[in-house]
Amino acid sequence: MRKSTLLELAGKKGLDLSKIRDNFGKDLDRCFQTFTAVHKCCDSLAVIRRITEEMIEDFSKENVAYLEIRTVFMRPLYGLVVAQGVSGRRDQDG
């Protein structure tokens, strides 16, 4: 997930990310705080699709040809939405 997307979604939910905002990945405790925030923000299929499309876009800009996506299916249709996000980006990129 893009840092900017996490901050945007967290702001809409009123989540305070001040403890981790400037220190993503700096230590294990902040890493787990980040995962907690991500799970709180990934609360709809629309968000999952957006994150998937952004991920594909970001890797495409880095000229990645093959990408293995691993995820935890947290709710029904989650996998389908991830697949649609991948398919949607592939259609846009040609």
| Total number of residues shown for the chain | 94
Rounded Cα–Cα distance for residues 56 and 19 (Å)? 28
In tens digits, what is the pLDDT along the chain, a chain of 94 residues? 888 899 899 999 898 887 766 666 567 777 777 788 888 888 888 888 898 889 889 998 999 888 887 776 666 566 666 667 666 655 554 4
What is the CB neighbour count within 10 angstroms for residue 89?
17
HSE, CB side, 13 Å, CA atoms: give it for residue 56.
Answer: 20
Rounded Cα–Cα distance for residues 60 and 90 (Å)? 10
Query: pTM (2 decimals)?
Result: 0.70
> Burial of 27 by CB count in 10 Å (0-12 exposed, 13-18 middle, 19+ buried)?
exposed
